[in-house]
Amino acid sequence: MALVLARRRLQIGHTSTGDTMLTPALQNSRFLKAARREVTDTTPIWIMRQAGRYLPEYMSVRSKVTFIELCKSPELAAEVTLTAQRVLGVDAAILFADLLPMLEPMGIDLEYAKGEGPVIHNPIVTASEVDRFRELEDVGSMQFVFDAVKLIRRDLPADIPLLGFAGAPFTLASYAIEGGGSKNYIRTKSLMYTDEGAWRTLMQRLARSLVRYINAQIDAGCQAVQLFDSWAGCLSPDDYRTYVLPYTRQVIQGIKPGVPVINFLTGNPALLPLLREAGGQVIGLDWRVNLADGWKTVGHDVAVQGNLDPVSLMADLPTLRRRAKDVLDATGGRPGHIFNLGHGVFPEVPPESVKALVEMVHEMGRHAGSR
Amino acid sequence: MALVLARRRLQIGHTSTGDTMLTPALQNSRFLKAARREVTDTTPIWIMRQAGRYLPEYMSVRSKVTFIELCKSPELAAEVTLTAQRVLGVDAAILFADLLPMLEPMGIDLEYAKGEGPVIHNPIVTASEVDRFRELEDVGSMQFVFDAVKLIRRDLPADIPLLGFAGAPFTLASYAIEGGGSKNYIRTKSLMYTDEGAWRTLMQRLARSLVRYINAQIDAGCQAVQLFDSWAGCLSPDDYRTYVLPYTRQVIQGIKPGVPVINFLTGNPALLPLLREAGGQVIGLDWRVNLADGWKTVGHDVAVQGNLDPVSLMADLPTLRRRAKDVLDATGGRPGHIFNLGHGVFPEVPPESVKALVEMVHEMGRHAGSR
């Protein structure tokens, strides 16, 4: 452990106020330069769910443990995180973790049923049940996440930032209320529409908890964080503004200054102006919008991340290359673009295609960056 | 049958060119006036899936037959269509039918498994299988639909238009390829990306078949039609433009002149300019976009339909009223708005709330219309 800490100090120091100080290698990394909209030698790329099920190295680890055991084992979570960064050659690592375990210490009884995804045994069905949903005062119960962060940061190349992440308040609230995936979010919206007080209590507790949880990830060694509002696309702009935006903004404003936040939402391009309003130095775009239009909508004074349709990775390499080029071309060579898919990579995708995509973007992005 | 035809002639005549002539009562109906962007006494309203499972009158019929038996029985399909229009007091009836039966004579082996929705036993998995997907040359196999249209038109109030409908080419192609519902449309997009020739053959056959099928609905007695592209929201604007728009446009251009087409797509507001480009006198908006913004985007020289979030019907009546008012207010009192949900009504919705919504819109729309 002494060695771990000694090695970590080489990369990251802390000021007395707790703000994260970056080593020059990280400060000048492609990813963080792009997040600050500085010119880079080529376009940085990472892939949402890059350590996921499509990768044989991941499946090999996963064959020995359950999904949640993997999430809760700092050593294994670190291993799959590091392996994915190394085999793909991407410009950032993202902590292998899941959105939902942070709900457990808040009072949610969570189970990962075999082959069925997460199941919540005590969803918040009525407004009165919001009371048993506790704020996360002490993040100690999430120590396995912070331990994974420390292990990853220790072994990650010095110029590769580590991203932390969490679900945005709406997506977490939806899970807690629906008890799992949902097609129409009937329970979530019903609570939102019929008991605004209960809804705001729930979102407030989530927002405060998220600030603590995310800042502890940063303290442990993350250089940037991504908020995933994977389900907020089901909302109308008016509902997002009224019931969601204040809490996402509260989270982003509570995150330690100087740490870039990627604010990502999928499923509704009409929410992009509001996503920008909620904050984040980087706005994550899904593939439903043309990147040039999306960037214009959120404003050229923020960086953007995205936005190749993930199914592009099922195509032959020339087609994949043409589609990746379309995304790069849509930037107009403007600095401040982080290449990614518009959503997570699928288990069905050939790993060789993901590796090829990373190489293509690094090669073609060189020209884009020099424009 | 002589009586049927005699009564029908009272409402609809045909010119020698086959164009549908409207009775004055239909010509001046709220729905058709709004579709032409003329001023109406109040805002017309109908509800997608208005004859659906939330309605006890429907469930009573449905308890005696399977879903597909109901679809294929002209008498029963007519009964549930007429009942819904009558009990709700809506300004249009929509033919009770399903999107998929038209794929059967095209070579798709379709089954409605109990409680599981449609299952296709021979989906088009590879490009070579597109060849066994035949164009619908003769619509005679869909006679049960046209018979239902005739029965409905016979008994519908003289001033209530009957809407026909069909799936748009992309949504039908997705069903044929995925074999049922889909989360990520991996197979559909893979075919689209990797074998453009096979994709275009498939879409061309669907487009030509749809023109015949829809025009036969019009010949049987429909006064307007809605195209449902329920799944196209998974596409990027560039993909929609390249792979989908030409075929939706081909369908709309092939529909008999003078019959309003509602061109409806759900799941991606960034496609609205392209939906407009594809055609339709009325553009259907889902709830993901603010109606004022959506109308501005598609242009004020078309009418719009929509766009209340369907979950609003789960709220108490004062909340429902406030939310319906927000939609009406977003029109700015401009003629050419047909009120609807942004998608189909859910089975969980209380029928009384749907009835109340119709009354609210008729009452509040009166003020909107007089602005």
* Nearest CB to B311; choose among A184, A267, A348: A184
The mean per-residue pLDDT over the stretch A33-46 comes to: 98
- The yes/no answer on whether domain B33-369 falls in CATH 3.50.50.60 is no
Whether A67 and chain B come into contact, CB under 8 Å, resolves to no
Positions of A marked active-site: 49, 53, 62, 98, 175
Residue B19 pLDDT > 60, yes or no? Answer: no
The full set of domain ranges for chain B reads 33-369
Q: Which two tokens stand for residue B225?
A: 């039609």
Name the band, by pLDDT with cuts 50, 70 and 90, for residue B371. Answer: very low
Q: Is the peptide bond before B340 cis (omega within 30 degrees of 0)?
A: no
Q: Which two tokens stand for residue B231?
A: 């799944």
Smallest CA–CA distance from A286 into chain B, residue: B236
Smallest CA–CA distance from A308 into chain B, residue: B236
Residue A19 pLDDT > 50, yes or no? Answer: no
Name the band, by pLDDT with cuts 50, 70 and 90, for residue B125. Answer: confident
| CB-neighbour burial class of residue A200 (10 A; exposed 0-12, middle 13-18, buried 19+) | middle
Give the C-alpha separation, B317 to A117, whole Å. Answer: 36
Per-residue model confidence as pLDDT tens digits over A198-256: 999 999 999 999 999 999 999 999 999 999 999 999 999 999 999 999 999 999 999 99
The mean per-residue pLDDT over the stretch A284-311 comes to: 98
Per-residue model confidence as pLDDT tens digits over A120-133: 999 998 888 998 99
Chain B, window 314-343: residues with a beta carbon less than 8 angstroms from a chain A beta carbon: 314-316, 319, 323, 326, 342
The pLDDT of residue A5 is 41
The pLDDT of residue B115 is 73
The pLDDT of residue A260 is 98
Residue A320 pLDDT > 90, yes or no? Answer: yes
Residue A367 pLDDT > 90, yes or no? Answer: no
- Angle among Cα A219, A225, A227 to the nearest 5 degrees reads 130
Q: Do residues A32 and A258 touch, judged by C-beta distance below 8 A? A: no
Backbone torsions φ then ψ of B117, nearest 5 degrees? 80, -175
How far away is chain B from the Cα of A187, in angstroms, using its nearest Cα?
A: 9
Mean per-residue pLDDT of chain A: 93
Mutate to test the interface with A, among B182, B183, B268 (most CBs of A within 10 A): B268
Per-residue model confidence as pLDDT tens digits over A87-106: 999 999 999 999 999 999 99
Q: Determine the topology of domain A2-14+22-370 in CATH.
A: TIM Barrel (3.20.20)
Whether A233 and chain B come into contact, CB under 8 Å, resolves to yes
The pLDDT of residue B14 is 41
Residue B127 pLDDT > 70, yes or no? Answer: yes
Give chain B positions within 8 Å (CB) of A269. 268-270
Say yes or no for a CB contact (<8 Å) between B315 and A193. yes
Per-residue model confidence as pLDDT tens digits over A162-174: 999 999 999 999 9
Name the band, by pLDDT with cuts 50, 70 and 90, for residue A289. Answer: very high
The pLDDT of residue B16 is 35
* Nearest CB to A190; choose among B267, B269, B315: B315
The mean per-residue pLDDT over the stretch B11-32 comes to: 71
Tell me: ipTM over 0.85: yes
Name the band, by pLDDT with cuts 50, 70 and 90, for residue B268. Answer: very high
The pLDDT of residue B21 is 76
